[in-house]
Amino acid sequence: MATVSFRSADRSLQIPGKTRLKAFIQLLFKKEKISLDSITYIFCSDEFLLQMNRDFLQHDYYTDIITFGLSDKGQPIEAELYISLDRVKDNAKTHNTTQTNEILRVIFHGALHLCGYKDKKKSEITIMRQKEDQYLRLFEKQKG
């Protein structure tokens, strides 16, 4: 049975409807035809994630999410995703959206990376955004 969990590093997040969100993340993997073992989202600050970015990826800049796939190729997905709540808050303002919408987008974004979607080239970014929007709409639709 696949597991989805939420943890805190140096920031915590109260997620309304956490059980529904966990089930939806499992559904996302099912729809993408990717086998999921376990996925852990860890919420943190800009500084915490910046240090991880430096230590593990040799990148010296802020980011909203870092995704670590921990499973071998061809095996069910096992991963840890670190999300900066500071970045999410700033991005929500920049993109004129709610923090809730932005955290969902980032959560789905990380899952989509694990499903094989990239976001380096303009064409990849376009596809990634379409997929994020698709899952945001589906999640919202399932709410009612």
Check: pTM over 0.85? Answer yes or no: yes
Cα atoms found within 13 Å of the Cα of residue 6, Cβ hemisphere only: 19
For residue range 31-70, list pLDDT tens digits in order.
999 999 999 999 999 999 999 999 999 999 999 999 999 9
Nearest residue to 18 via CA among 124, 144, 107: 107
What are the structure tokens assigned to 88, written together?
């999410």
For residue range 94-107, list pLDDT tens digits in order.
999 999 999 999 99
Could you confirm whether domain 3-143 is CATH 3.40.390.30? yes
Query: Residue ranges of the domains in the chain?
Result: 3-143
